[in-house]
A and B are shown apart, each in its own frame.
Chain A
Amino acid sequence: MTAAATHKVRSGRRVRPGAIVAWLATLVLALMSAMPVFWIVGTSFKTFVETQRVPPVLIPDFTNLKAYFHEFTGGSNAFDPFVRSLIVATATTVVTMLVAIPAAFALARYAIRRKPDVQFWIISSRMMPMIAGIIPLSTLFVALGIYDTMQGLVLLYLGVNLSFAVWLLTIFFSNVPDEIEQAAQIDGVSRMGVLRHVTLPLARSGVAVIAIFTWIFTWNELLGALVLTTGRTTTLPVYFSTFSSNTAVYFQNMAAVGTIQIIPAILITFFAQRYIVSGLSMGAISAE
Chain B
Amino acid sequence: MSAQPAIHGAGAGPGSARPSLWARVTEGSLGGYVLLVPAVVVILLLTIWPLIFNAAISFTDFAGGGGAGGASKGVHFIGLQNYANMISDPLFMGSVVTTVSLVVVAVPLQLVFAYGAARILARTHQMIGTRILRTLFILPTMMTSLAVALFWRYILDAQIGVANFVLHTLHLPTSRFLSDPSTAFISIVAMYLWQWIPFAAMILMAGLLGIPKALYEAASIDGASWLQRIRYIDIPQLRRVFAIAGILALVEVIRMFDLIYGSTNGGPGTSTLTVSVEIYRSAFQNFTTGYAAASALVVLVVTILASQLFVRATREER
Contacts of B292 in A (CB 8 A): 135
Q: Verify B67–A130 contact, CB threshold 8 A.
A: no
Contacts of B153 in A (CB 8 A): 244, 249
Contacts of B139 in A (CB 8 A): 33-34, 37, 265-266, 269
Number of interface residues of A (CB under 8 A): 110
Tell me the minimal C-beta distance from B37 to chain A in angstroms: 9
Contacts of A237 in B (CB 8 A): 144, 146, 258
Q: Verify A188–B15 contact, CB threshold 8 A.
A: yes
Q: When A33-B140, A158-B42 are in contact, do A135 and B303 touch as well, CB less than 8 Å?
A: no
In whole angstroms, what is the CA distance A26 to B67 when docked? 49
In whole angstroms, what is the CA distance A222 to B256 when docked? 12
Selected interface stretch from B28-36, B85-93, B101-109, B211-219: B28-36
Q: Which residue of A lies closest to B5 (CB)?
A: A111
Q: Verify B162–A135 contact, CB threshold 8 A.
A: no
B10 is an interface residue with CB less than 8 A from chain A: yes
Q: When A188-B15, A237-B144, A258-B147 are in contact, do A107 and B42 touch as well, CB less than 8 Å?
A: no
A-B contact count (CB 8 A): 335
In whole angstroms, what is the CA distance A254 to B149 when docked? 11
A83 is an interface residue with CB less than 8 A from chain B: no
Tell me the minimal C-beta distance from A50 to chain B in angstroms: 10
Contacts of B60 in A (CB 8 A): none
Q: Verify A265–B143 contact, CB threshold 8 A.
A: yes
Contacts of B265 in A (CB 8 A): 244-245
Most chain B CB within 10 A, of A126, A128, A270, is at A128
A99 is an interface residue with CB less than 8 A from chain B: yes
Q: Verify A254–B137 contact, CB threshold 8 A.
A: no
Q: Verify A56–B255 contact, CB threshold 8 A.
A: no
- Cβ-defined partner of B203 (8 Å) among A19, A187, A277: A277
Contacts of B43 in A (CB 8 A): 122, 125, 159, 162-163
Q: Verify B50–A262 contact, CB threshold 8 A.
A: no
Tell me the minimal C-beta distance from B303 to chain A in angstroms: 7
Q: Which residue of B lies closest to A156 (CB)?
A: B46
A110 is an interface residue with CB less than 8 A from chain B: yes
Q: When A23-B127, A133-B47, A285-B248 are in contact, do A270 and B262 touch as well, CB less than 8 Å?
A: no
Taken residue by residue from 268 to 310, chain B's Cβ proximity to chain A (1 for < 8 Å, 0 otherwise) reads as 0000000010011001100001001100110110011000000
B70 is an interface residue with CB less than 8 A from chain A: yes
Selected interface stretch from B76-84, B128-136, B229-237: B128-136
Q: Verify B15–A280 contact, CB threshold 8 A.
A: no
- Cβ-defined partner of A188 (8 Å) among B16, B40, B160, B169: B16
Give 5 new A-B contacts, CB below 8 A, not counting A29-B120, A191-B31, A284-B248: A23-B124, A103-B38, A134-B283, A136-B51, A190-B26
Chain A: residues with CB nearer than 8 A to chain B? 19, 22-23, 25-27, 29-34, 36-37, 39-40, 43, 51-56, 99-100, 102-103, 105-107, 109-116, 118, 122, 125-142, 147-148, 155-156, 158-160, 162-163, 166, 185-192, 216, 220, 222-223, 226-228, 230, 237, 240-241, 243-245, 249, 251, 254-255, 258, 261-262, 265-266, 268-270, 273, 276-277, 280-281, 284-285, 288
CB<8 Å pairs between A and B, sample of 16: A56-B165, A99-B38, A99-B42, A115-B2, A128-B50, A129-B296, A135-B292, A136-B50, A162-B42, A163-B43, A237-B146, A241-B150, A241-B258, A241-B262, A244-B265, A265-B139
Chain B: residues with CB nearer than 8 A to chain A? 2-10, 13, 15-17, 22-23, 26-27, 29, 31-33, 35-36, 38-40, 42-43, 45-51, 53-54, 57, 64-68, 70, 117, 120-121, 123-124, 127, 129-144, 146-147, 149-155, 159-160, 162, 165, 169, 194, 198-199, 201-203, 206, 244, 248, 251-252, 254-255, 257-258, 261-263, 265, 276, 279-280, 283-284, 289, 292-293, 296-297, 299-300, 303-304
